[in-house]
Amino acid sequence: MNKRSFLRSAMAVLATTATTWAVAASPALTPLKFQLDWRFEGPAALFVHPEQKGYFKETGLDVNVEAASGAGAIQRVASGTHDLGFADLAALMEFHANNPDAPIKPVAIMVIYNTTPASVMALKKSGITKASDLTGKKLGAPIFDAGRRTFPIFAQANGVGEVQWTTMDPPLRETMLARGDLDAVTGYTFTSLLNLETRGVKREDIVVLPYATHGVQLYGNVIIASPKLIAEKPEAVRAFLKAFAKGAKEAIANPEAAIASMKAKDGLVNTALEVKRLKLTIDTAIDSKGARDEGFGQLRKERLAQMAEQVSKAYATKNPVPANAVWNGSFLPSAAELDVLPKR
């Protein structure tokens, strides 16, 4: 081997060794499994966008955002298969009240839907124009639908009498309303309203009675975390919320870019439809008066306590809802980092 070849070989060895040392010296990313509440539709982009943009990795996390399949986020986190999730706060309250001895009871760590997106939807031809018109009517929704579960709260606030319920799988709900099998349905506005439109119903022919404007002051979906993760890796929880807030601010400011990120993860995403859904989610559940008053991601203890009482009664839980046990706001980012809502 001549001198030049020897030097080239030596340099190659040194470069390989340096790379190996650098990899070994770099801190390993903390893996976290995150469970959505539904499929890769509009609202999911709030979580997929920071994942795809690398914001979680920037904070030392390797986050895998998964669509819901079978069991919901609360069950996944409670079973220990997932670290974090996205779930309805009322359902989380029910889990705590009905499973006081569960070894893992997820807790809410950030509010995303300050206002419940649940509403009652009917077609104008039904003659339903206001809440009290629902008395004696035939309503439909899946048995687990959040709007159906909390309908007693809506009914009490608006003087609605007895109604008849029909149960179906989620894909049939809007179809049954459109063909006249039902007088009205309950569901998240950004889901049922757009589903009705895709079934040929014109927006102007739909009556929407949002819970939030009809005396129901429930929080909607929240980010939940495993108490095991909180106890063992508190910095990972803090880092997750910091990265999420960064991505959420971009998603709210530019829904098209957020849906593009989700399209990169799931090629089957209908871009035009999901951009519309994300915008509707922001308008009806995220950028609400409550979020402006209380601050994005946060909640008021008095409102939480009132919701706990209402949920306990509406869901007929085995035990009272332990309001203080379902919420841990100590990992929220700074006020500046939570300033994600658009300026008005």
For 161-189, how does the pLDDT look when each residue is reduced to its tens digit (9 = 90+)? 999 999 999 999 999 999 999 999 999 99
Query: Would you place residue 37 in the very low, low, confident or very high pLDDT band (cuts 50, 70, 90)?
Result: very high
Percent of the chain with pLDDT over 90: 90
**β-sheet bridge partners, residue 34:** 65, 84
**Cβ atoms within 10 Å of 259's Cβ, excluding its own:** 29
Q: What confidence score (pLDDT) does residue 107 get? A: 98
Amino acid making up residue 184: A
Q: How buried is residue 33: exposed, middle or buried, by Cβ count under 10 Å (0-12/13-18/19+)?
A: middle
Phi, psi of 127 (to 5 degrees): 90, 0
Cα torsion through 143, 104, 33, 307, rounded to 10? 50
Q: What confidence score (pLDDT) does residue 10 get? A: 47
Across the range 317-325, mean pLDDT stands at: 96
Q: What is the pLDDT of residues 212-258, one digit of tens each?
A: 999 999 999 999 999 999 999 999 999 999 999 999 999 999 999 99
* Cα–Cα separations (whole angstroms), residue 102 to 75, 83, 84, 99, 313: 11, 16, 17, 5, 21
Which tokens belong to 74?
């609360």
Residues 6+ apart with CB under 8 A from 153: 211, 216, 218, 310, 314
- pTM of structure: 0.90
The chain-wide mean pLDDT, for the chain, equals 93
Query: Would you place residue 12 in the very low, low, confident or very high pLDDT band (cuts 50, 70, 90)?
Result: low
Q: What is the pLDDT of residues 107-157, one digit of tens each?
A: 999 999 999 999 999 999 999 999 999 999 999 999 999 999 999 999 999
Separation between Cα atoms, residue 157 and residue 312, nearest integer Å? 16
Select from 206, 32, 220 the least CA-distant residue to 125.
206
137, 164 Cβ separation under 8 angstroms: yes
Q: What confidence score (pLDDT) does residue 140 get? A: 98
Separation between Cα atoms, residue 169 and residue 144, nearest integer Å? 10
Q: Enumerate domains of the chain plus CATH numbers.
A: 30-115+219-325 (3.40.190.10), 118-213 (3.40.190.10)
Q: What is the pLDDT of residues 82-117, one digit of tens each?
A: 999 999 999 999 999 999 999 999 999 999 999 999
